[in-house]
Structure formats: C-alpha cells, structure tokens
Amino acid sequence: MVLKFPHFIHGGDYNPEQWLDRPDILARDIELMKEAHVNSVSVGIFAWSHLEPEEGVFQLDWLEEIIDRLYANGIYTVLATPSGARPLWMAHRYPEVLRMSRNLTRNRPGVRHNHCYTSPLYREKVRLIDTALAERFGHHPGVLVWHLSNELGGQCFCPLCQEAFRGWLKDRYGSLDALNKAWWTDFWSHRYSDWSEIEAPVPSGETSCHGLNLDWNRFVTHQTVDFARWERDTVKAAAPDLPVTTNHGESYESINYFKYKDVVDIVSWDSYPLWGRDPDEREIGQNTAFAHDVIRSIKRQPFMLMESAPSATNWQEVSRLRQPGIHMLASMQAVAHGACSVQYFQWRKSRGASEKFHGAVVDHYGGSDTRVFQEVKAVGERLEKLDALLDGCPRPKAAILYDWENGWAMNDAAGPRNLGMHYLETVMAHHKAFWKLGVSTDVIDMECGLDGYRLVVAPMAYLLRAGIADKLRRFCEDGGIVLGTYWTGIVDETDLCFLGGTPGDGLGQLFGLRSEEIDGLYDGQYNLLRPLDGFLPREEYRLTELCELCKCSTAQPLALYGRDFYEGMPALTRNAFGKGTAYYLAARGEQALLDDLTALLCREAGIEPDLDADLPDGVSAIRREGSVTAVFLQNYLPEEVTVSLRRPYRDFESGEEVGSQLTLKPFEVRILEER
C-alpha cells in the first residue's frame, strides 16, 4: 500500500477556492463530508490563479487553512499541482505557454488542458508553484498523495515542440540516414537531407509517411510523460516520501498510458461510463471493466478511481440520471477490479461556468436530503466495512495484449479495410468473452512481461515491438497457451513490412503457418467458420470484416472457411510449440465464437472462473486476492437474477452462509468469500 491512510478512500474533487467568500458554505462542506463518510478530497486542481494571483506572488495561506481544517476533521487531502490550467496573466504575458493546434495557429488564453508541454517557460513556472506547494505541504500529515496536473493529453504543434521532436528523433536514430531508411522516405521522393526539414505531420503538410506519423505519436506521449516526470521530480525534491499519481481519462488514442508505469507511484483514472444508454447495463459494464483492467495492468497493482460522476455528467450527449443502485454498482465494480478508492467529480456543484450542471455530491440546493447524496453516503458506509479487502487485487492468469502503438500504426495504414480495422473493438470483444465467463484478465501492452500468466490472447498484433515475438515464443515454449489472430506480425517497430512471409519475426514458427493474403469484407458481407470434429460447440460461426488465407506448415486446422473461393482453407489452427500450444484465428469472428473459444482455452490452461458458478449473461464475478480473498458478484441487469453456486460461499459483509441459489436484486452487488 503506497498511501499512508490504510483504508478505502472515499471523496472527490473539491474547489474551495470558488467559495472563499462564503465561509458558511466552507464550514457546511466539512459537516456534509463527514455525513457522507468522505475521508479525502482532491484540492488545488485548477487553483493556480488563487495560488499565484500575480507573477511571483504566492498565496498559500487559504489553502493551508483548508487542509488543516479538513485534517482536523479526519479528512485527508489529495493535493493537486495546478498545472492543468494557467492564470490568464501568464498566458497573456508569455504566449509560448499556450498550445498551437494542428493548423499551426496559437490558441488564445482561456479554457484548460491547452498548454505546451515543451515550453521551458511553462515548465519553469510550474516548477516554481510546485516547489512552493511541496515545501509548504509536502510533509503535512493530512496530505495523502500528489495529483499531478489533470488528465494530461493532447498535442502541441508549436516550433518548440517541433524542435524537441527533431531532438528526440536524433536520439532515436542517431543519423539521418538511419531515419530515412526507417521511414522509407525514398517513396514519393520524401528523403530528408537535413534534420531541419522534419516537420510534425499536419493536414496541410506531410501525412503520407507512416513512420513519421507513428514517431510523432510516440514523441507526443514521450513529451507528455516527460512533463509529468518534471512535475514529479519537482515535488519529490521537496517531499520525497509523498507518493505521486496523475489521473488519466478514458482515452485509447492520444497518450500511451503504459509509459507512465515508472513515473507514478500509483495509477489513477477518471471513469465516466454511459450508464443508462441501453435497456440494461451489461455492455457499459463490460466496457468499464475493460478500462479498469487496462489501468490496473499498467503497474499490475491496485489503482485509484480518481473521478467518477455521483450523478449525471453534463457533457455526454444526454445527461441520464443514474438509476437507483447504479452508483453503488459502479463504485463496487471499480473496487472489484482493484481500486483502492472511490472518488468523484465533484464534491460541490459550481455556481457558474461550463460545469455548473455537472452532477455532484452536493448540488445547488445544498442539503444532504437528496437521493444522490444518500447514495454516495451508502457507498462511503459500505467502503468502511471493506478494510480487510484493501490489500487485495485481481491476480489474473490470463492476459490480453492491447498495445497503443500497434493501434496507432494499424489505424494509420491504408490497408485491407479502410472502413475500419476495429482493433480496440476486437480486443474488447476478446475481453468480453473472459468477462462473461467470470475469468479475470489483465490487459497488457507489448512492453509488459508475461510472467505469471498461463494464457495470452494477442489479437491483431500488427506491429511487433519491445521483443514481443520473442516473449510470446518463450512463453509458449515454457508451456503457455497463446491465441493469435489475423493481421499479426505484419510490420516491425518502425512500421516497415516484414519480408519473407508473415507473421514475421519468428511468429510464423510459433503458429506453424504462413498467411498469404487477407480479404477485406464490406459491411454486411460474411464468411463462415466450420469447426472440424466438433472442436467447438456450434456447427458454424459468422466471420466478418477480415479473412486471412493461411498455409499451414506444422499447424493443424481446427476449423475451415465455409464460403467463398477460400472455402475449405483453415480458419482456426493449433500448433504444438515447446511445452505449449499456439492457436491462430484467421478471421474476425462473432462474439459467440470468441466466447466458445475462450472457454475452451481457459479449460486447457487450467484457469478456473473467479467464482464457481453458472453466471447468467449480465452478471459478472471478479476476485480480489489478498490477505482476505473475496469475489464481487455484480448484476448489471434491471431485474432479479439467480446465480447457481457450485461451492459453499459466505457473504463477506454479513458473515452469513449463502445457499446454492443466490438471488441478486436489480444492479445488486454481493461480496462472497469461500467457506
């Protein structure tokens, strides 16, 4: 446990600076926090103009008063650095701190999350304010963790960033010649003859060089993470013992979150599922489960749920209220997946500006006798009773490979299906198969180790980097089970196609086949997968979007295509490799295929579901393993369901035995312990 407060954290973003002229409200906040069983709030996010109202004039007394008062009332502070938004004086005096957009114009002062991560001036201003905060509060007994900035993300195309990009490329390639080779710049006569000719990819300039696009994306992550590292080093210089986090959004596009692994002490994220969009919550529940699993897998450790909405947001297309019970369901889901906190945006609704209608624990009415407040309070009360589970975390035996850089490269390539390759959707479909089975999974990237797993599913591993081909081969040799799919091993880490057959980099041997062609299908077109010898329960499964035509060397076909000119060619194969087995699925399959195949692979790998039960569709089970191990059983349906348990369990909270038929109310969460 990295935090000094050995309990589940319950609280949220708190902006007292908006209410400094209302001491009555600030006093009332403390009372309401205690009533809601809030034990921590995040303070200082976006408070820079109050902390440094004039250049070089730091005013921290008001913050000290707040932190002291919170602590005196048993409430800890998650202390933010204010770098997510700048005071206007700074943006007006030093325009270089502002971001330049893709059309190469400079943003105007205002809004947030729009600063240049390279600007030495911005970094220096951040260093000064962070140092002031760290010296003043870094050893405060009530301060729990640093919250660096807020949702770092986006891109800046200013000259400083472009120059930094060229410097980064020099480090990476050493010589212009090496860069020209890696980027295949002889194509369309795009050879660089001087470093200064390299520009970021923008719509009005170079966009056709995939190596450039990929490296620019890598650089953007590098620079963003470097900015976080700069802030971390700054606060750690004054207060080395206070742990550090930075809150991620739910985005699989701009920043590769795995690169934060060694920068933060604890990973945190902000979760805003579209609860209420569908007739039931299984789809949204599964999407959110995936996101939690990605976040936990970054460090393979417990994480913080830094923000979530206690009620509707105000930025989704429609601001649906949470059905009664959903708030508890969402909060417990995070805990099930390894969260050590349930925190909200926001504690109190602001009175003006763009988030004045965003859900909050306390709304403009100001009292605690509201539905939302009472549901929040119920979560706080429940968390207080879960202390014994705090040191636990899911410890999956299965992992799914999802790699940001692979996604960038695949989506950029004009290839077999410009209508959409659906990499993320495909990865999520594999994850869904595990979720439905009640088998926990990590979601790892190519830089992660494979130790501790028995089954690794690696869908569409188009770009191979970080030695992943070797890792998969060794994993399989040692007895692991691998499932690979179509569009794997096509390009190397610089986005150059492998010569001599795909999957490249030795993956052809692992899977025992060579993929010769790939057919892109229009929406609505399909093929069929026909299992041989009853290998899978159904007689046929639908295949869509992408179908690969493979020639087996050592692999043995387990299913064949049922249509088109490649009818009878292998669609699913198995290859014995060392002590393990490598499966290859040659086409995009419907969910039922992934479900059936995953169940079969888990059995072969000896991976048992987290709960010994028949899980109805829409009910999930996730085990948190620690000094006490418990399974979170969650109903995502608006109706009662009965789960048949095959082993005796007891309710962790009541201590009572549960029978073999356990009925869950709509959206109910039960926490079970093995007897």
Helix axis angle for 210-238 and 159-173, nearest 10°, is 100
Find out whether the peptide bond into 666 is cis, omega within 30 degrees of 0.
no
| Nearer to Zn ion among residue 107 and residue 591 (C-beta) | 107
The pattern of x and - marking residues 293 through 332 that bind ligand GAL according to CB under 6 A reads --------------x-----x-x-----------------
> Pick from Zn ion, ligand GAL, none: which does 272 bind, CB < 5 to 8 A by kind?
ligand GAL
DSSP string covering 65-95:
HHHHHHHHTT-EEEEEPSTTS--HHHHHH-G
Contact between 84 and 15 (Cβ < 8 Å): no
Distance CA 117, CA 72 (A): 37
- Cβ closer to Zn ion: 6 or 110? 110
**Residues constituting the chain:** 675
Q: What is the rounded (10 degree) CA torsion for 403, 408, 410, 415?
A: 180
Query: Which among Zn ion, ligand GAL, none contacts residue 311 (Cβ within 5 to 8 A by kind)?
Result: none
- Binding-site string for ligand GAL from residue 111 to residue 150, where x marks contact by CB under 6 A and - marks none: ---------------------------------------x
Find the shortest distance in angstroms from Cβ 237 to Zn ion: 25
Q: Quote the CA–CA distance of 27 and 231 in Å, as a whole number.
A: 32
249 near ligand GAL (CB under 6 A): yes
Q: Is 144 helix (H, G, I), strand (E, B) or coil?
A: strand
Q: Nearest residue to ligand GAL, using CB?
A: 345
Pick 114 or 162: Cβ nearer ligand GAL: 114
- Retrieve residue 240's tokens: 């080395």
Quote the CA–CA distance of 295 and 9 in Å, as a whole number.
17
Within 469-498, which residues bind ligand GAL (CB under 6 A)? none
Site map 343..372 versus ligand GAL, x via CB under 6 A: --x---------x--x--------------
Q: Which residues pair with 641 in a beta bridge?
A: 664
**179 versus 326: smaller Cβ distance to ligand GAL:** 326
In the list Zn ion, ligand GAL, none, the entry touching 116 (Cβ below 5 to 8 angstroms by class) is Zn ion
Rounded Cα gap, residues 543 and 528, in angstroms: 5
The reply to whether 98 sits near Zn ion by the rule CB under 5 A is: no
Nearer to Zn ion, 224 or 488 (CB): 224
Considering only 116, 239, 309, 669, the residue that binds Zn ion (CB under 5 A) is 116
Q: Strands of 304-308's sheet, edge to edge? A: 247-248, 268-271, 304-308
SS3 annotation, 556-611: EEEEEECCCCCCCCEEEEEEEECCEEEEEECEEECHHHHHHHHHHHHHHHCCCCCC
Which residues touch 519 (CB under 8 Å, ≥6 apart)? 416, 546, 547, 548, 549, 564, 566
Residue 358 binds: one of ligand GAL, Zn ion, none (C-beta under 5 to 8 A by kind): ligand GAL
Q: Counting contacts by CB under 6 A, is residue 17 touching ligand GAL?
A: no
- To the query of whether residue 65 is one of the catalytic residues in this protein, the response is no
Active site residue 625: no
91 near Zn ion, judged by CB under 5 A: no
Which span sits near Zn ion by CB under 5 A: 115-123, 129-137, 139-147, 223-231? Answer: 115-123
Q: How many residues bind ligand GAL (CB under 6 A)?
A: 11
The footprint of ligand GAL (CB under 6 A) covers: 150-151, 249, 270, 272, 307, 313, 315, 345, 355, 358
Catalytic machinery residues? 151, 307
